[in-house]
């Protein structure tokens, strides 16, 4: 496993080929000015191989439309599918357009059980070699 930590997010390339994206507890909201650092961290981990991602937004809010646009602009270069972990105690899931991206870019699905999310993502991992 390899990990790169930015100002607000920890990225881990797991041994199973899944990129884990975890917002750090107590970190500020991801805004457009933080996204280039995050994209660079992902590129350092995955190189030229897009990966399925397990996204754990935690309590972090992402209301900055410019930040979303930056991520969407590079989404297909970095990912092939995204499983979003949702804690029902947190309230409503992420904005509806996040799952709508499934029809535009690649599969996106919300989960409350991490094992189910990893099982779903494993179908998108490309064999190495």
Residues 61-114: tens digit of each pLDDT = 667 778 878 888 888 888 899 998 887 666 555 555 555 555 567 888 889 999
Tokens representing residue 67 in the block: 């930040």
- Which pLDDT band, with edges at 50, 70 and 90, does 18 fall under? very high
b/e code 55-88 from CB counts within 10 Å (16+ = b): bbbeebebebeebbebbeeebeebbbbbbbbbee
pTM: 0.84
pLDDT at 92: 56
Give percent above pLDDT 70 in the chain: 83
Tokens representing residue 97 in the block: 């357009």
Domains and CATH numbers, the chain: 2-122 (3.30.750)
Q: How far apart are CA 77 and CA 66, in angstroms?
A: 18
Tell me the pairing of strands 9-13 and 51-56: unpaired
pLDDT at 113: 94
């Amino acid at each position: 496993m390899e990990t790169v930590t930015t100002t607000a997010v920890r990225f881990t390339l797991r041994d199973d080929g899944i990129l884990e994206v975890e917002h750090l507890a107590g970190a500020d909201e991801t805004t457009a000015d933080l996204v280039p650092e995050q994209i660079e961290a992902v590129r350092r981990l995955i190189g030229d191989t897009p990966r399925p991602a397990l996204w754990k937004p935690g309590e972090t809010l992402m209301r900055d439309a410019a930040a979303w646009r930056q991520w969407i602009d590079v989404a297909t270069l970095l990912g092939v599918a995204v499983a979003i972990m949702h804690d029902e105690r947190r309230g409503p899931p992420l904005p509806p357009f996040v799952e709508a991206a499934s029809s535009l870019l690649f599969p996106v699905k919300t989960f409350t059980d991490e094992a189910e999310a990893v099982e779903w993502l494993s179908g998108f991992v490309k064999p190495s070699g």
